[in-house]
Structure 1
Amino acid sequence: MSDRAALLAAICAHPDEDTPRLAYADWLDEHADTVPAPAAARAHAQFIRDDIAMWLREEYDPLRLRWVLIEKPKREAEAWVRDALPALHWGNFARDPLFRRGFPWTVTVPPASAPHAPADLTVAAPIERLGISHCGGHITELLRAAPWRRRLRAVEFDHRGNRSPTDTLSRIAFERLDRLAFRHDAITTAEARELVAAPLFRGLAAFRIVRARVGTVIPDALAHANRPGSLRELHLVECGVAQMPLADFLNSPAASGLESLSVGGDRTNSSLKFRAFGLVTDMPPLRALDVSDESPGELGIEFLLGSPFPPVLRRLDLSRCSLNRDRVRALAGGAFGALRVLWLYGNSVGNDGAVALAQSPHLSGLLVLDLGFAQVGDEGIGAILESPLADGLVLLDLTGSPASAEMKEVLKARMGDRVRL
């Protein structure tokens, strides 16, 4: 085995350790002139060091946010990436992002994959997440044969195939699995209820269902389990989550460690869903809340602002929530002293709403503000430029702004690549 292969093997065998990854970066630098693409080798080496350094920073550190949102996507689009990706003939590397701590980490298996597992399923990368489209019998065979199966931390099922995903999960022994996701009706109500009661679920740190009308089953089952949960993240998007099961869950031992919650996407008059936040008495350590694609109305915003969550939230997503300038003004008056990331994409924020956000003493610590397609023009942008946000924001998204060309030039001159237009 070559030194390079040995280093890659060490990275795969010890995916949580950074030392083998940094040793590989050193090897790339030292042997760059001996490989077919020296510049690509050096670029990958520096990327590994940068990615690890940013990973070690706190999630809302401005430098890390800039890396994740601006610099890393640019670097992953550079030519060296082609040479850095190992051969993979039975699936595809996914971009979400493409690299984690310097190496590709997610593989997706398309439905057109061979009906039987290929003879060689090795891959010279620390695979941690597997995406499965249309689960079939070949997936069980693939997982049993894959040498990296025991290293998997996350499995995601996309669309329903001819094999139950929960049946597949029950047939495979996972040692590190702590994240599960199901998309586009990949799981049924009965399967979801069975999964919550299974031993596998008790070890999960993150659980996600997107576009499957089973959402009420999950919080209801968790609330009635009456046991402390390991869940740090729960995402039920377009699942029809109702008020009381959500409130019961948030007040239950199962939510005692919950840090991130998504319950949006139903696109309904959802003020009652927002009322669930005001019914919380046993506060979970929630830091991120996503209720995008809802229509809370003024009453729903009042419920949110009157809940225990605003003072502790670090991230809030209210994209496409039919917010007008009055509702945004009310939001700007909320006690969001710890908030660092705010998404208001696709709302009618307007200039008046943008002025209220810029002048809010509670939002001066924002690092990311998304006002894409939010009808913010010259007056609103001018207020932002005159506020502490102009210097403090890592990223300001004003995609689709109706502002004048002159104001956009002023904005770009002031904020550079920290603004999107």
Structure 2
Amino acid sequence: MFRPGAAVSRRRRGRQRELPVPPPLNPDLLGLLASCRAAPADDTPRLVLADWLDEHADVSGLPSPGDARARAALLRVQVELARPTCDEGHVAALRAEERRLLVAHAEGWLGSLPRRLHELTHPVFGFAQQLAAARPPQPFTFEPLTPFKPWRFTRGLLNIDLRAETVDDPELGAWFASPLAAWTEEACVDVAASRELERLALPDPMRPYFGVRLAVGAAEFPTLLRPRPDPGDTDERRCRRLLRSAKFGLVRELVLFPPALDAGFLRLMAGANVSNVQRLAVRAALSDADAAFLSSAALTNLSALNVSATQLTAAGVRQLAHAPHLRQLVSLVAYRNGLGCDGLVALVESPLAQTLNVLEVQNTGIGDRGAVALARSPLLGRLHGPGLNLSMNPIADEGARALAACEHLPRFRELILRDCTVGDAGAAALASSPNVADLSILDLWQNRIGDTGARALAGSPHLDGLDVLSLRDNRITAGGAAALRARFGDRVKL
């Protein structure tokens, strides 16, 4: 007689030999890994971890010193890959090293996890189960470079995508109880409704790593599991219930869509316990009142805030920049807004100038006054490279002169001022500054540079290291173009 569990049992008996469980890790290493999980948007704890692994490879508790150094190498490579760059050759070299490390080490670093996740996401039902019982089990093949998989290494640490119905799987629980799980940054479940969050059951071994990605107000579409989406899931009553739920403490990443703001979610957040949220993105228009509610919410562990394309004003930025609870914020993505010079000045004069490592303000109406304030601020000395990108802002010659004179400019290998209003004087200031000597990419596409600026760049004694000088869509004629090609050859793009 056929038993429904027979196929599963036979497949389990036919599995490949399990990889050995590694010994316990050094307590100092465990502490460093915990600090990485506490600030997911911050590169500094990861680079400190990489340095520690190199310096303590013999006592880390890892299988071998070589394994520790490989972990350190992956941390550095993926941290560098996560930083925006226009240098395609550099990215290709980093990708090649990333592939080499994953092919050589990922199977040992993951143990039985990929196989079990594959089984949980590819169940066998009905007649297919009977066929599986009648033939020998197919061994699981580990493919470390497959793009579509429920696990991935992100900036050196492991991120796992789970399904709500499988988080209590015993085999997963056993894996999370092993030393391999310590390298997990987060094991996440996507949730789109309050009732799904409330139904989550969480085994103890997974608790240090578990997080929920919660989207409130996202458009829902009919599926086999949800044939009739509930349009009232984001009314004020349900939003209040969601924020009061004990399970809301599991939310690590929060995304808010227009229905959530219409229901007053930001206002309700101001009086709720949202201290465990580490990443927040708003996908709706933010009024100044909304920004005030967001600023008063107790987001004490928020590491990354994305408010791009939200119609955020200078007044809204000022409120966020001085919010008493945003002292852990290291990443602010705010492009395509109307911040203007007032907004950027408010930001660089706020406490966030001492914490941010990532700032994206392209296409935000920043002119010369804002660029000068940024160039004179310690914030520019904190921002990660390799690129400084202020594109699609009305930055003209005065702003270009301030950037050229900035003592922090040598930290960047790429200066991107595309679609600004820089003219000949600004180009000449950049050409004459020793602070541009380390640039590999200078992008001045679509500005107001003419032959005078072109000749200044062609005669610069500081631009020998350039790989790309982009001057497309400027006011350069044949004479200026000839001078540039004589100096830079095919490195100049006209």
Q: 1:271 to 1:141 in 2, by over 3 A?
A: same
Give the counterpart of 2:98 among 76, 79, 83: 76
- The Cα shift of 1:69 comes to 5.2
User: Which one-letter code corresponds to 2:267 in the other structure?
Assistant: R
Q: Which residue of 2 aligns with 1:214?
A: 286
Q: Which residue of 1 aligns with 2:308?
A: 237
Moved more, 288-297 or 125-134: 125-134
Structure 1, unaligned runs of 5 or more: 30-43, 413-419
Alignment of 1:252-267 (within 5 A): 252-256=323-327, 258-266=329-337
| 1:262-281 CA distance string (max 9 Å, x none) | 33322x48344335347x46
Contact 2:305 2:333 in 1 (8 A): yes
Paired with 1:385 and 1:94, the residues of 2 have a C-alpha distance of: 49
- The Cα shift of 1:240 comes to 2.4
Give the counterpart of 1:191 among 238, 250, 265: 265
RMSD: 5.7
User: Which one-letter code corresponds to 1:151 in the other structure?
Assistant: Y
| 1:62-90 CA distance string (max 9 Å, x none) | xxx99995644333345828964723336
Paired with 2:105 and 2:428, the residues of 1 have a C-alpha distance of: 45
Q: 1:330 to 1:143 in 2, by over 3 A?
A: farther
Please tell me whether residue 200 in structure 1 is matched to residue 270 in structure 2: no
Contact 1:320 1:344 in 2 (8 A): yes
SS in 2 for 1:200: coil
Contact 1:258 1:285 in 2 (8 A): no
Q: Which residue of 1 aligns with 2:71?
A: 48
Q: 1:48 to 1:318 in 2, by over 3 A?
A: closer
| 1:370-421 CA distance string (max 9 Å, x none) | 7385679998699499555655x8xx67689689999777659xxxxxxx99
Q: Which has the higher contact order (CA 8 A, sep 6+)?
A: 2
Please tell me whether residue 7 in structure 1 is matched to residue 30 in structure 2: no
Please tell me whether residue 296 in structure 1 is matched to residue 366 in structure 2: yes
- The Cα shift of 1:195 comes to 2.8
SS in 1 for 2:281: strand
| 1:199-238 CA distance string (max 9 Å, x none) | 232x55x44324322374564236557x895555443222
Q: Which residue of 2 aligns with 1:371?
A: 443
Q: Which residue of 1 aligns with 2:184?
A: 127
Give the counterpart of 1:26 among 64, 86, 93: 64
Q: 1:143 to 1:357 in 2, by over 3 A?
A: farther
Give the counterpart of 1:274 among 326, 344, 353: 344
Identity of aligned residues (%): 14
User: Which one-letter code corresponds to 2:272 in the other structure?
Assistant: A
- The Cα shift of 1:6 comes to 1.6
Paired with 2:212 and 2:461, the residues of 1 have a C-alpha distance of: 42
Q: Which residue of 1 aligns with 2:419?
A: 347
Q: Which residue of 1 aligns with 2:142?
A: none
Paired with 2:340 and 2:324, the residues of 1 have a C-alpha distance of: 25
Structure 2, unaligned runs of 5 or more: 1-16, 35-48, 122-145, 221-229, 474-480
Q: Which residue of 2 aligns with 1:172?
A: 247
- The Cα shift of 1:292 comes to 1.6
Paired with 2:188 and 2:486, the residues of 1 have a C-alpha distance of: 45
Paired with 2:73 and 2:458, the residues of 1 have a C-alpha distance of: 31
Paired with 1:148 and 1:256, the residues of 2 have a C-alpha distance of: 28
Q: Higher Cα Rg: structure 1 or 2?
A: 2
User: Which one-letter code corresponds to 1:360 in the other structure?
Assistant: S
Moved more, 380-389 or 287-296: 380-389
Q: 1:337 to 1:55 in 2, by over 3 A?
A: same
| 1:100-159 CA distance string (max 9 Å, x none) | 46553253x6xxx7x844763726754323566561455654563695343147846494
Q: Which residue of 2 aligns with 1:150?
A: 208
Paired with 2:168 and 2:431, the residues of 1 have a C-alpha distance of: 59
Q: 1:47 to 1:335 in 2, by over 3 A?
A: same
What TM-score comes out, normalization by structure 1 length? Answer: 0.61
Q: 1:146 to 1:246 in 2, by over 3 A?
A: same
Q: 1:52 to 1:300 in 2, by over 3 A?
A: closer
User: Which one-letter code corresponds to 2:281 in the other structure?
Assistant: I
Paired with 1:47 and 1:274, the residues of 2 have a C-alpha distance of: 40
What TM-score comes out, normalization by structure 2 length? Answer: 0.54
SS in 1 for 2:19: helix
Give the counterpart of 2:383 among 303, 314, 324: 314
Alignment of 1:49-128 (within 5 A): 49-52=72-75, 71-77=93-99, 80=103, 84=107, 86-87=114-115, 88-89=117-118, 98-100=152-154, 102-107=156-161, 116-117=165-166, 120=169, 122=172, 126-128=183-185
Q: Which residue of 2 aligns with 1:416?
A: none
Number of equivalenced pairs: 375
